[in-house]
Amino acid sequence: MAKVYNGTAVPRHFLSVTTSGAVIVQLSGNQGQDLYTGRFIDMTGRAPGNPVSDNELDRLITAGRVDHYNAAYVWVTGLPEPHVYDPNITTREKSTNRVRSFYVNTLLPPAALDHIHQLLHDANLAHACVAIMQGDAVAIVGADGAFFGDFDHAEEARLHLIGVAPEVFEQSVVAFTNVEVRDSQLVHELRPADKTSELEAIIAAQSDTTVTAGKTLLLLVTSLDERKLIYNLCVELKISIEVAASAAEALTRLEDGLVDLLIMDLQLPDMHSWEMLGKIREVETLRHLPIILIADHAMPEDASLTKTVANVDVYLERPLSKARLRQNIWMALNDQ
């Protein structure tokens, strides 16, 4: 029996990479779509980009935009369907970037919300799952209220909940909604390695230090409050932390010592972040260094470029969430 993959199978030659690093899929006619941001693009008069490589597709899998690929097809997932938009209307409302995201619909009424909150707390799952109202029913989403990026992760959470409280969740189903890219309830930024499921990674990040103990983190962040937050997280995760005051100092430390993870600002005082990232990737021993980038605002274009061109693993928007930051630190080090 053939394996069934999530998403829509698109001929591989329909995908191309632009000079800016965006990966575009040709939909129909002159319509294209950016696989990272979900933005629809008028392809009229545009020069064809370069063929998409396996490395680009691997990054799209990590970002939750592609489920599988082979020599002929790419299974695209977690993006708006073409019929969501009217391509002939170019108003601001119609151009909003949206992605299809998933949640567990419990089918329970609003009166059950407090009970579900308490159940998640008693089952020690409050850090991994959140109960919210979605329409007229109680829904379960991921950590910090982030929707699940694809069906499989939502289904995994549903089955886990059934195992915890079958009498409560046995009638639950996986449902989907379309959320804005810059909505506060974004899908998770980083997908775990195949060896660790998303729910397992969220739970393990709260207590497991086997993959973080003894590692070294270099911090290049100007905010004192964020430095304190990350320092305290490192103490909990048994990570040694070094703080750099400038990009130049950070580069020196990266070249001279063993650093397992870099957390840095998008805006640096003495060097443009693109120059900094470029210098890092020029060093052979640093080409696969995990990097978490922190920005004041979630700009889809910046996120796409930093992930594809500079191979940045995670792009986070302020204000920082301790739970999500902890999860991403754990997952970045676990994937080494």
The residue segments making up the domain with residue 119 are: 98-180
Determine, yes or no, domain membership for 146: yes
Residue 263: partners with Cβ closer than 8 Å, 6 or more residues away: 217, 218, 219, 220, 221, 230, 291, 292, 294, 329
Whole-number pLDDT of residue 2: 43
Q: Which amino acid is at 165?
A: A
Q: Over the stretch 29-64, which tens digit does the pLDDT of each residue have?
A: 577 888 877 777 887 777 777 888 888 888 888 877
Q: Residue for token digits 């941001």?
A: 37
Residue 227 binned pLDDT confidence (cut-offs 50, 70, 90): very high
Residue 147 and residue 60 share a domain:
no
Q: What is the pLDDT of residue 15?
A: 86
List the CATH number of the domain containing 234.
3.40.50.2300
Instruction: Let me know whether 141 and 25 are in one domain.
Output: no
Q: What is the pTM of this model?
A: 0.49
Q: Do 13 and 81 touch, CB atoms closer than 8 A?
A: no
The CA distance from 212 to 278, in Å, is 26
Q: Give domain status of residue 108, yes or no.
A: yes
Q: Is 225 inside any structural domain?
A: yes
Residues 230 and 319 placed together within one structural domain of the fold: yes
Least confident stretch, 122-131, 248-257, 283-292:
122-131
Q: What is the pLDDT of residues 296-317, one digit of tens each?
A: 765 545 555 555 555 677 888 8
**How would you classify residue 262: left for phi > 0, otherwise alpha for psi between -120 and 50, otherwise beta?**
beta
Does the pLDDT of residue 97 top 90, yes or no? no
In terms of domains, do 53 and 165 share one? no
Whether 109 and 84 map to the same domain: the answer is no
Q: Which residues lie closer than 8 Å to 161 by C-beta, 6 or more apart?
A: 104, 125, 129, 140, 168, 169, 172
**Domain limit, last residue, from 90, 118, 139:** 90
- Report the pLDDT value the prediction gives residue 191, as an integer from 0 to 100: 39
Q: Which of 78-82, 97-101, 129-133 has the lowest mean pLDDT?
A: 78-82
Average pLDDT over residues 142-169: 83
d(CA 164, CA 25): 41
User: Is 289's pLDDT higher than 50?
Assistant: yes
In a domain, 38, yes or no: yes
End-to-end CA distance of the chain: 34
How many domains is the chain built from? 3
Question: Can you tell me the distance from the alpha carbon of 58 to that of 190, in angstroms, rounded to the nearest whole number?
Answer: 13
Whether the predicted pLDDT of 164 surpasses 50: yes
Residue 127: give its domain's CATH number. Answer: 3.30.70
42 torsion bin: left (phi>0), alpha (psi -120 to 50), beta (else) = beta
Alpha helix segments (H runs only) across 165-299: 166-169, 198-204, 224-236, 247-256, 273-282
Whether 173 and 264 share a structural domain? no
Q: What is the pLDDT of residues 187-202, one digit of tens each?
A: 444 333 444 555 666 6
Res 275: pLDDT? 84
Q: Are residues 125 and 221 in the same domain?
A: no
Domain stop point among 90, 112, 139: 90
Q: What is the mean pLDDT of residues 76-99?
A: 43
What distance lies between CA 107 and its chain's CA centroid?
27
For residue 156, give the amino acid letter.
E
Residues 174 and 222 in one domain: no
pLDDT tens by residue, 230-283: 998 899 899 999 999 999 999 999 988 789 999 999 888 888 888 888 889 888
For the chain, the average pLDDT equals: 77
How many CB atoms are closer than 10 A to CB 41? Answer: 18
- Residue 50 bridge partners (DSSP): 17
Q: What is the pLDDT of residue 20?
A: 76
Q: What is the pLDDT of residue 206?
A: 67
Residues 152 and 54 in one domain: no
Residue 239 domain-assigned?
A: yes
Lowest mean pLDDT among 178-187, 216-225, 303-312: 178-187
d(CA 336, CA 333): 6
CA-nearest of 184, 214, 138 to 324 is 184
Torsion sign, CA atoms 245, 247, 252, 253? positive
Domain boundary among the residues 161, 180, 199 is at 180
